Amino acid sequence: MAQQETDEQINDGYVVDTEDCEARELAHRERGTSRPITVVGNPVLHRECKDVTEFDEKLAQLIDDMFASQRTAEGVGLAANQIGVDLKVFVYDCMDDEGVRHVGHVVNPVLQDLPADRRVLDDSNEGCLSVPTAYASLARPDFAEVHGKDMHGNPIKVRGTGYFARCLQHETDHLYGFLYIDKLSKRDRKDALRQMAEGTPRYPVVPND
């Protein structure tokens, strides 16, 4: 497969991920193959993933497959370990609170610490494709910035507010071995797992042995 062009424009290191969203997402998805989603209890979800060191056609294909899998599951973000791949990569197709669509990917993401004056918490509901049919309120900062690389190894930065900020934090957490339910109280975690046990996923999942 020929090397793909860089998905997003770069502006002062920040990805411009709000332009041509439909065409870019569709191109990834049409090249990709949808894979089933791993669920809580699968070991790959509960350990830090490996850094990506090869920026090659295999990585490009993984990103395509992740976009296809994300669409099948009707998600707004997907980490590589959610389709069983032990690498630090996530993709997203997410609206912010102003209704602006963001589409892109980040390789080897690192969530940046926020100064105290930027830590305004939002306690909206959160869900996860790897904890299907369950939701819980979780306080997270309403602004997030992630530094990483694109599929070609170029340094990039992604920032978001509101729901998109929650997505960036949620997906980065995945790649370091944390699910959102790990941040809940024991009672709320138990309730989320109960919701999952009582529900039926609307997309293919990998059964845990």
Catalytic amino acids?
A: 171
Residue 21: other Cβ atoms inside 10 A: 16
Q: What is the DSSP letter of 93?
A: E
Could you tell me the two tokens for 14?
Answer: 């920040």
Q: Directed axis angle between helix 57-72 and helix 21-31, to 10°?
A: 110
Could you tell me the two tokens for 125?
Answer: 């509901």
Name which of 113, 117, 120, 61 is nearest 91 in CA terms: 61
Contact 134, 90 (CB under 8 A): no
